[in-house]
Amino acid sequence: MTGEDFEQLVNKALENLPIFFKEKLDNVDVVVEEWPSQEIAKGRLLLGLYQGVPKTKRGTGYTLALPDKITIFQGPIELVSRGNKETIKNLVIDTVQHEIAHHFGISDARLKEIKK
């Protein structure tokens, strides 16, 4: 899959977020990278990464801050999906939603509870 096609999947996942989340999503950039660096991955297979201050941790003085960053990693998603286009699409949607949940202060542990 080309990088452009993959980015379109990420953009579509963002467009299809529930209105509630889209309206409250602010000061965050969503980018696509091929692979995470070894420093970031630390031996893990990362599909996405949220870097920033979750909305639940922001105080009243949280102004003029750089945007949070959500990175979606194309290589690992394609690897896990074994190149299946429908699986890639579903993994992109899940990964985008997962990382946006972190932006709203939802932990990995809580996400696992919700999915049960």
Residue 113, judged by CB atoms within 10 A of its CB (0-12, 13-18, 19+), counts as exposed
Q: Which domains does the chain show, CATH number per domain?
A: 3-57+65-115 (3.30.2010.20)
pTM score, two decimals?
A: 0.87
Q: Please give the pLDDT value at position 36.
A: 96
Cα 2 from Cα 49, distance rounded (Å)? 21
Token look-up 């963002």 returns 14
For 35-70, the pLDDT digits (tens) are: 999 999 998 999 999 998 887 777 776 667 788 899
Q: What Rg value do the Cα atoms of the chain yield, rounded? A: 14
